[in-house]
Amino acid sequence: MSGINGIPITTEYIYQILYPYLKKGNAFSLKELDKLRTRENHIDTALTHLTTSLTALSKVIDIDVDPTSLMIPLYGTVHIEDDDPNGMYILYNRNKMFNQAINHQFPFVYRELYEAMVEFRRLLKLEDNEDKVNYLVYILFTNWENLLLDLYTKYQHTSVLILSDGHYSHANMLKNLLSFELSPNIRIDTYESHLLSQEILDELDYDLIISTFKLPPMTDTFNLVIKHYLSSKDIHRIETVLNRIIKGKNSFDDANNLESPVTTPLKGEL
């Protein structure tokens, strides 16, 4: 048989390409998967638990999920995970590095998905294997539509208000400098009214208020006082506070009480 791109078409080559389609118990459609669930109770139990876990997490993080669309790639992955070629690693553990990055940015979400995959494997009567769980988490993140984008949009986004006791153009100058220095996920506004009171401060809906003068204590907002000339030290302090705010937004209620996200209390002058 003639080759493709210099590779001879042999029986072994054809078998390797078609193997997933030939292996017993695989499913390439929801219809086939439903038949498997009818015949195999443990598969039905595992997929039911998967749906419940993902739906519960979706409600907590307020990001839509279609569990049905994830069943085929996740079940298909575990079904052929020990076959060659596989998605594991030789020298560079891509899946572990990917998971570590996710865990650093979104620890609660990562922990919930990792534990869901561990239980998914247990219900499928598969071994507890960290590399294979890492691979499932990788598959889950890359197949859950817009999950990472929505996480960044919702929980990496912060808002900053600049208050200056100089001319309004000074506040605008600070805004332009910070827009250059900080992440584009940070919305920066300036306060332009001549009236400022405790009541107004308490009603301002910002994560951080940067001012050139000391403000009275506020309930749920950080206040950071800077000099009129924005120094590199000021920028470092602002970045440190924003990282703390983002970390607070990425913290959720205890995994055993999946009801609503909570944020770390943020208040006072820094």
The mean pLDDT values, 10 residues at a time, for the chain of 270 residues are: 67 65 73 91 95 95 93 87 61 84 89 96 93 93 92 83 91 93 87 88 90 84 89 92 81 42 38
The pLDDT value recorded for residue 265 is 34
The pLDDT value recorded for residue 91 is 59
The pLDDT value recorded for residue 80 is 75
Rounded distance between C-alpha atoms, residue 132 and residue 259, angstroms: 29
Is the CATH code 3.30.70.360 the one for domain 156-269?
A: no
pTM of structure: 0.64
Residues of CATH 3.40.50.2300 domain(s) within the chain? 156-269
Burial 179-202 (b: 16+ CB within 10 A, else e): eeebeeebebebbeeeeeeeeebe
